[in-house]
Chains A and B, each alone.
Chain A
Amino acid sequence: MENFKNLPIIKKLGFNRIILVCVLILMYFLFSLGSGRMLGSGDIKNALNMVDYLGFLALGVTFVIATGGIDFSIGPVMVCAGLIAGRLLVTFGWPLWLVLIMCVVVGALFGVVNGILVAYMGLPSFISSMASMMLAKGVGSVFTHVQNSNWPASGAENSWYKYLVTYNGFPTGLVFLLVVAVICAILLNKTKVGRYILCIGSNREAVRLSGVDTRKWEALAYVICGTLAGIAAITYVGVITQVQPGLGDEFNNNAIASCVMGGTSMAGGVASIGGTIIGVLIISLLRVGIQAMGFRPDYQYIITGIIVALAVFADIRSSRRKK
């Protein structure tokens, strides 16, 4: 086994990532078996719809978890951005391109708020991001007067934003996500931002004593996260069309579960964009599979909860062994 792990090709791809892909394939067949039919293109399309927005959320929160923090506001922020932008588009008649940019701006603003709360004011990230989750939910519903935001349906005027998710059956959303994922991977591994974010998660004090402004870089992780939640809003409305206020917190948990499953450590310092994407695929397939097998979708909550607990437990165990 150790030998196998040390093969150059395995090392390059990452042993854990290979295991995860195997899990993904295995799950596909298990669900097919369980539901008594091969999961077809319809199911895959369903899964991909979820991947489209969940992916961006998970990518964003990967940066925050890499610093050793957490962000519970991403899902509601995404919904909030969708609501605000939708109302701007439909009620105020803003041009679509501007509205899409607004999605990202709203997300980034929440990121800035979270960054200030955590990095500059020193609040514990989990509780302060829960507070900003409330803010996001509230702001979203206040702005729309607790009405749904109805984005233009397919084929209607101003519906080209849907092409960002699918174009004549071609999954543009997946391509969009993968492109952003590649950018995130570069950002995390090849730039100063990513380097400092990872190092802060690993040993904040050593980085500070190297003369680095740790607060700035930590805050930036939350801004990146918020911005990606804003981008997620674009694909979210592309899939959902009709955005309801007050939703969004279930996406947090799925996004966080995707990260920890993909090998990003809750303790900070270790993060994998590729792992996160595979994690997102697994979580999305899980949802579709559970439905295909005729179970209530609520099973997903339980399974997600157990996955997170086990992943974090395994992470704690392995880091203790290293010491």
Chain B
Amino acid sequence: MQIQGNEKRGFANNPIVKAIGLQRIVVVLAVILEALLFSVLSPAFRQYATVVSILDYSYYISFMAIGVTFCLISGGNDLSVGTGMICYALAGGYLVQHMGWPVWGGMLVTIAFGLCFGVLNGAMVAIMNLPPFIATLCTMLITRGLGSILTGGMAVSWPSRSANGGWFRSMFKIINSGKIVPVGFIIVLFFIILMTLVLNKTKVGRYIIAIGSNKEAARLSGVNVIKYQMMAYIISGFFAGLAGIAYAATFSSSVAPGTGAGLELDAIGGAIIGGTSMTGGSGSVIGTLLGVFVMSLLKTGLPYVGLQANWQQIITGLVLIVAIYIDVLKNRKTA
């Protein structure tokens, strides 16, 4: 047993393993294992269409999760991304469907809504000092109500693929004479790279990490903690807006008010599985992407093995509990 333990430690200290990060390797293995498991259990799973559908699920969860990652790193959280995403997509879609706005205008409004609620969340957390989960719980409620009120409780349809303005769907998926090309992945990758840069190579990211690691030390080092803490929530709002667009473009033909609650857990779960800590200071955007794949594989794969949506909830819940518990244990060890 002793030898085994040493070997393990040796593996963790291997320079290559260290550079990539042990947890990330474990998550990649988990994704592969998960995919293999579904493939073995269900022949129907082994199809190109399944890959496309996994990606479809991954887009909006990825965007939400990127944003939430920044909030988690700052030592906070954002519960409003799920209902927020729907609310912003409703607002933008309503303008397109009923007010004759061009699609790009609707998309801008969707993102602008996200930014506004990001500012609101940031102000409540950084300036009013509300606990992040309560502040964002409140905006979760507000966006949920606002979404229905704006559209009069009706579902909103963004333009269909063939309709005028349907081009925005091709941003995520090009369908050409039956061939499907999931180009959305390029967009997601673009933002993953961009936000990795922001996190690691700009003051915004640097100070968000610093605040999550030791807020008082950051303040004493002359960092404007209010500004940069707010920035984390604004980023999260922006990405919730993007998630709204992705949701409208790929996942659903129409966006229904009153939905979206619970989706934030997919995002938070993805981020935590990807190695972002609940206690702040550490996390990575790429890790989050990997974590999201764990979640979206589950969402896509479970129906193939005969487990419907209801089982997904149970399994999401269990996965979340395990992920947080690992995070708690990790922190306990270092503390």
| Chain A directly contacts chain B within the complex, with at least one CB pair under 8 Å | yes
- Interface stretch among A131-139, A156-164, A180-188? A131-139
Taking CB atoms, residues of chain A closer than 8 Å to B278 are: 124, 127
Q: Is the CB of B142 within 8 A of A306?
A: yes
Q: Is the CB of A305 within 8 A of B313?
A: no
What 0/1 readout, one digit per residue, does chain B (297-335) give for beta carbons within 8 Å of chain A? 000000000001111111111101100110010001000
Q: Is the CB of A128 within 8 A of B308?
A: no
- How many interface residues does B have (CB within 8 Å)? 47
Q: Is the CB of B139 within 8 A of A305?
A: yes
User: Of B137, B144, B314, which contacts A135 at CB under 8 A?
Assistant: B314
Q: Is the CB of A312 within 8 A of B321?
A: no
User: Of A131, A245, A266, A309, which contacts B265 at CB under 8 A?
Assistant: A131
Across the interface, name the chain B residue whose C-beta is closest to A253: B141
A123 within 8 A of B: yes
Taking CB atoms, residues of chain A closer than 8 Å to B325 are: 121, 123
User: Of B135, B257, B317, which contacts A134 at CB under 8 A?
Assistant: B317
Taking CB atoms, residues of chain A closer than 8 Å to B130 are: 309, 312-313, 316
What 0/1 readout, one digit per residue, does chain A (28-72) give for beta carbons within 8 Å of chain B? 000000000000000000000000000000000000000000100
* Dominant SS among interface residues on chain B: helix
Q: Is the CB of A308 within 8 A of B317?
A: no
What 0/1 readout, one digit per residue, does chain A (265-304) give for beta carbons within 8 Å of chain B? 0100000000000000000000000000000101111111
B102 within 8 A of A: no
Q: Is the CB of A305 within 8 A of B140?
A: yes
A316 to B129, alpha carbons, bound, how many Å?
A: 8
Q: Is the CB of A266 within 8 A of B145?
A: no
Taking CB atoms, residues of chain B closer than 8 Å to A253 are: 137, 141
Taking CB atoms, residues of chain B closer than 8 Å to A316 are: 128-130
Q: Is the CB of A142 within 8 A of B310?
A: yes
Q: Is the CB of A309 within 8 A of B124?
A: yes
Across the interface, name the chain B residue whose C-beta is closest to A300: B145
A146 within 8 A of B: yes
B262 within 8 A of A: yes
A130 within 8 A of B: yes
Q: Which residues of B contact A (CB under 8 A)?
A: 77, 124, 128-131, 133-135, 137-142, 144-149, 152-153, 257-258, 261-262, 265, 268, 278, 308-318, 320-321, 324-325, 328, 332
* Additional 4 contacts, C-beta under 8 A, given A250-B261, A305-B139: A131-B321, A135-B313, A135-B314, A304-B141
